[in-house]
Amino acid sequence: MQIPADLLRSLKDTKGFNREAFLRVHESGEQVTSLRINPLKPLKDVPFSSLHPTSIPWSEFGYYLPERPSFTFDPLFHAGCYYVQEASSMFLEQAFRQSVKENSGLKVLDLSAAPGGKSTHILSLLPANSFLVSNEVIRSRANILKDNIIKWGHSNVMITNNDPADFTSLEGYFDVIVVDAPCSGSGLFRRDPDAIEEWSLQNIALCSQRQQRILADVWPALKENGLLIYSTCSYSKEEDEQIGAWIMKQFSATTCPINIDKFPGIIESGGGYRFWPDKIAGEGFYLAAFRKTEETGALDLKVKNWPEKAFNKEVSILSPWIKKEGLAFIKKENTVYGWPEPFRNDFSFLLNKLRVIYSGTIIGELVRDKMVPDHALALSQLVGPDVLRYDLNYQQAIQYLQRKELSLEIKDKGWQGVTYEEQLLGWINVLPNRINNYYPKELRILKDTPD
């Protein structure tokens, strides 16, 4: 692996940079594998317990694995029981836990959210009565984000596909904004050596300008005393400390120090925190948090166009499928969404303002006097206790996830959930002469066997 000479030169005086150790760790070929468990879908054991996972110090939910197993061939991965995520990025948790003071009612924006590592993490960290707007500007990436958020199983979330500038008018709306900025990506060279080809000093300058533009666009949407968490996977000061300095110069803000006494190897630098792969087990990463100290105007939260609500008759069709309590039922054509009732006003308001591609949880499709359940319902926390479930063994679960035909001896006919180790994977419909597999085609495992 040939680290660009320009990069090495530019890092010379960067805090914590040790050229020899940095080169050694890149040349070693060593890879770090880590995952973060989903507290909403607790398991008896940490995933891959036979490999002896070890805890990641800065995340209650994070674990290192000594080798990379086949996640694709683990049904619990598809059930959303964990997310495979780079370890340094999980430091977001410390910014959140140490700097967010409120213990309920937060409105959080994750501005650059795909594929969903930070968003799923934020959902696990949110205090009661809070919700997340998870945004991704690139449409194709927004779809991947949607799949991952659905898998994670929360309903207190909206997924949007907007440009940062579309948030400018939401003055003072959010309590926390996370900007995990698009960057030059040098922090991931060890994992993805091909990224070296795209690296250049010119690109750093472009990234830095773009980061400033994004931050200027979104800053008005943060409320007074609100928290901005800024991060990159770049080693370059132009995208890290210098962006922090720019924020402090441009806006009224204070930095929010994060106590790192328990995390040897993380380097404080310019009010932010640097992760060097030769000092911690993880990839290159930078994170800094800022508190807004300027007043913001008051936003009128009046909803112009309310979304259509489901009729009582329709709700009674859904009832056998779900835990109804605390939900509002919103209809878009025949599709019914479950929204947490306390957010009905906010979700409706945002629906008027942003390009929302998903919200709450899709319950299903009303077809005459019946409901066809949606895959999202199976992965959510909303499935009612009386819904039939059939437990699959490992082979059957993989066949289900490959969307193959299933031959199972099932007494009860009709729609039911299939589970693996008690975790719902999706739906089947048991007919008198066959079983229809409703695992979504676009999510199915394409390979026959693990590599």
What residues line the site for ligand SAM (CB under 6 A)? 89, 112-118, 136-138, 141, 164, 180, 182, 210, 214
Work out the angle at residue 62's Cα, subtended by the Cα atoms of residues 61 and 68, and round it to the nearest 5 degrees.
140
Instruction: Select 113 or 318, whichever has its Cβ closest to ligand SAM.
Output: 113
When the beta carbons of 247 and 378 are compared against ligand SAM, the nearer one is 247
Cross-sheet strand order for the sheet of 389-391: 389-391, 414-420, 423-430, 435-437
Angle between helices 117-125 and 92-99 (to 10 degrees): 30
Residue among 164 and 282 whose Cβ is closer to ligand SAM: 164
Q: Checking DSSP bridges between strand 327-332 and strand 335-340, what pairing results, if any?
A: antiparallel
- Residue whose CB is less far from ligand SAM, 285 or 427: 285
Residues, the chain:
451
DSSP SS3 for 251: coil
Single-letter amino acid code for the residue at 19: R
332/360 Cα distance (integer angstroms): 13
**56 vs 435 by CB, closer to ligand SAM:** 56
Largest CA distance in the chain: 72
Rounded Cα gap, residues 289 and 259, in angstroms: 12
| Least Cβ distance, residue 234 to ligand SAM (angstroms) | 9
Which residue's CB is nearer to ligand SAM, number 116 or number 272?
116
Smallest distance, ligand SAM to C-beta of residue 410, A? 38
The smaller minimum CB distance to ligand SAM, of residues 214 and 356, is found at 214
Minimum Å gap between C-beta 214 and ligand SAM is 5
Nearer to ligand SAM, 137 or 382 (CB): 137
**CB-nearer residue toward ligand SAM: 79 or 149:** 149
- Surface-to-core class of residue 400, CB atoms within 10 Å of its CB (0-12 exposed, 13-18 middle, 19+ buried): buried
Query: What is the smallest separation between the CB atom of 235 and ligand SAM, expressed in angstroms?
Result: 14
Rounded CA gap, 312 and 437, in Å?
Answer: 30
Q: Where are the alpha helices (DSSP H) in 224-311?
A: 241-250
Report, in Å, the least distance between residue 162 CB and ligand SAM.
Answer: 9
Q: Which residues of 413-450 are buried (b: 16+ CB within 10 A; e: fewer)?
A: eebbbbbbbebbbbbbebeeeebebbbeeeeebeeeee
Cβ at position 179, least distance to ligand SAM in Å:
8
Cβ 212 to ligand SAM, closest distance in Å? 11
Give min distance, CB of 114 to ligand SAM, in A: 4
- Chain-centroid distance of CA 156 in Å reads 13
In this structure, what DSSP letter does residue 422 have?
T
Angle value at C-alpha 82, between 78 and 84, nearest 5 degrees: 95
CB of 120 to ligand SAM, least distance (A): 8
Dist. CA 392–CA 398, nearest whole Å: 9
